[in-house]
Structure 1
Amino acid sequence: MVDVIIIGAGPAGLSAAVNAMTRGKTVRIFSNKENYLSKAERVDNHLGFYNVSGKELMDKFKEHAEAMNIKVEDGKVVNILPMGESFMVNINGDIAEAKKVILSMGVSKTKEIPGESRLLGSGVSYCATCDGMLYRNKNAVVWDQSKEALEEANYLQSIGVNVTFVSKKERSEHLNSNIKYINGTLTEVIGEDVVKSVKAGDVVIDTDAVFMLRDAVAPTALIDGLKTDGNFIAVDRNMETNIEGVYAAGDITGKPLQLSKAVSEGLIAAQHAALQIDKIKEN
């Protein structure tokens, strides 16, 4: 078990990692996507830097983290489970444990469809390798929204799941020939207590499960009961959410969506998390 797990390796996440390490805490940081700052053509409003590209700044941030032996691990976090004094974090089927968690994934562009959150864990899944064996000899729909979707659809078919692949792209030659393909996008998950079917436009597909294989999971789907303020995560002055021990920092907490705010909030979240860990040790 480590002291702090950080989800997201942009300015807020790297700032949190550096500051947690400075306070003597062990850290793991996960990310599976490029940070938006890297694509910024020019940044003029971050104190101490003028007329630099976003990529130059991100490279500097990464160099700082690497100099402190902070390694960003590639992985998509699919859910977080509170366990009293700690948290179990599921990274594509691999489980890690931490005393505190900091969410710093940036603005969430993931939009849930009707029925998705209500049936999460009752046929809706975000991880094929985690839940695939539950649907062996059953029907499952895989919704293509990430670069791993093809691989995971093929994996499900290989373990005996009857897969239907839904994608806006043309059928790939790498998709198993036994997998049914539907061109489109999912618009609704249907069922009372468990998934019974999904809609792709006007087409209704009967199924026992649907795998939403996105590059990122919506924050509210990561951990049950997380409070939001509109499209953002609600936090207090210490960057702590309504769930004790879970923090959020950066664009994910709301406007202004600025680099300096993200760096500052990462620092605040990490320092408060470290302080709380130290208080527990003293007691």
Structure 2
Amino acid sequence: MENMEVNEIFDIAIVGCGPAGLSAAINGANRKKKVAIFGTEFCSPKLHRAPSVENYLGLPNLTGEEMRKRFLGHLDVMKLSINKNKITGVYPEEDGFALQAKDKFYKTRTVVLATGVSTVKPIDKEVEYLGRGVSYCATCDGPLYKGKKVIVLAYNREGLEEANYLAELAAEVVLVPVLSEKDAQGVTLEQKIKVVKGKPKGIIGEMWATGVALEDQNLSADGIFIIRESVLPDQLVPGLEISNQGIKVDRSGATNIPGVFAAGDCTGAPYQLSKAAGEGQVAALAAVKYLDELKNKAREQLATV
């Protein structure tokens, strides 16, 4: 991470703006920590779609959308905002972590992962070829494919925009749109982009990824870019321990990486609103305790010099 541009320095960076992430943000801010919230354009679609919420203590008979607006309203009261830059990597450093969002980097002392559960599972061999011809970030890795052929699997609107960016670099761009026509409205594709419709089944390759297998045909390319709403947790944070249930955490929300905590649906079932909000609070308070302990250790070391 040498020579990177650090735009901000935070005490707690929260990745995700669902109930767990927003709860973590509010509790971290209440403890006078500098908090950053990184989320999507719409927080949170899962809650928005709920026809009713009957089991949240003290707030009966609300729709999911009414609950969502109350959560966001709480952020407004506390003058907290959501950074819409998508985090694609979290990397440990000597005194904290660097968070990458395309060509921007943010510095934080602790991280709370509240990424929820992705409804889109990895395609066959996707994870195995990550970093070997498969990438989740066109801005990060696009320059490596200047003058070459690339495939973009676009699961959201951002994927279409990334295809346009790659069209400026690559000799050929093949776009496989895996999103609804409604979500694609308003995006004009560069003329050189070739659109191929089909459902991606897996990555083709040997030592290096060489293409994508669709249901009815195979596509070849020098590089493949897979653009979704969220990155798999263990790919987002290298070395993070996960299980079949989700990210492995203790009762404080601590992961196997010191300074990294997790909360909400990404830690496993039950996938309940109250559980997510509660875990967000616990993880934030654990991050605050971790920060205070680091500060006390630093003071003790100075006192002994």
Residue aligning to 1:258: 272
Q: Secondary structure at the match of 1:148?
A: helix
In the aligned structure 2, how far is the partner of 1:50 from the partner of 1:226?
37
1:156 aligns with 2:137: no
Counterpart of 2:94 in structure 1: which amino acid?
A: G
Q: Secondary structure at the match of 1:211?
A: strand
Once superposed, what is the RMSD of the aligned Cα atoms? Answer: 1.9
Aligned partner of 1:189 among 179, 200, 203: 203
In the aligned structure 2, how far is the partner of 1:222 from the partner of 1:80?
6
Which 5+ residue runs of structure 1 have no aligned equivalent?
A: none
In the aligned structure 1, how far is the partner of 2:61 from the partner of 2:171?
53
Does structure 1 conserve the Cα–Cα contact (< 8 Å) formed by 2:151 and 2:175?
Answer: yes
Alignment of 1:200-215 (within 5 A): 200-215=214-229
Residue aligning to 1:246: 260
Q: What's the offset of the Cα at 1:247?
A: 1.1
In the aligned structure 1, how far is the partner of 2:61 from the partner of 2:285?
30
Residue aligning to 1:63: 73
Alignment of 1:113-124 (within 5 A): 113-124=123-134
1:118-173: CA deviations, max 9, x gaps?
22122211111221111101111011211122221121112244211112568988
In the aligned structure 1, how far is the partner of 2:139 from the partner of 2:47?
31
Aligned residues between the structures: 283
Aligned partner of 1:108 among 109, 112, 118: 118
Does structure 2 conserve the Cα–Cα contact (< 8 Å) formed by 1:143 and 1:185?
Answer: no
Instruction: Tell which deviates more after alignment, 188-197 or 169-178.
Output: 169-178
1:138 aligns with 2:148: yes
Counterpart of 1:122 in structure 2: which amino acid?
A: R
In the aligned structure 1, how far is the partner of 2:171 from the partner of 2:24?
41
Q: Identical aligned pairs, as a percentage?
A: 40
1:38 aligns with 2:52: no
Residue aligning to 2:26: 18
Does structure 2 conserve the Cα–Cα contact (< 8 Å) formed by 1:110 and 1:217?
Answer: no
Residue aligning to 2:15: 7
Counterpart of 2:241 in structure 1: which amino acid?
A: K
Which 5+ residue runs of structure 2 have no aligned equivalent?
A: 1-8, 298-305
TM-score after normalising by structure 2:
0.87
Counterpart of 1:156 in structure 2: which amino acid?
A: L
Q: What's the offset of the Cα at 1:59?
A: 1.5
Counterpart of 2:43 in structure 1: which amino acid?
A: E
TM-score after normalising by structure 1:
0.94
Residue aligning to 2:283: 269
Runs (4+) off by over 6 Å? 169-173
Does structure 2 conserve the Cα–Cα contact (< 8 Å) formed by 1:153 and 1:163?
Answer: yes
1:82 aligns with 2:92: yes
In the aligned structure 1, how far is the partner of 2:279 from the partner of 2:90?
21
Instruction: Sort the Cα spacing of 1:202 and 1:55 in 2 relative to 1 into closer, same or farther, 3 A.
Output: closer
Aligned partner of 1:176 among 190, 203, 215: 190
In the aligned structure 2, how far is the partner of 1:186 from the partner of 1:177?
23
Residue aligning to 2:5: none
In the aligned structure 1, how far is the partner of 2:108 from the partner of 2:99?
8
Does structure 2 conserve the Cα–Cα contact (< 8 Å) formed by 1:93 and 1:127?
Answer: no
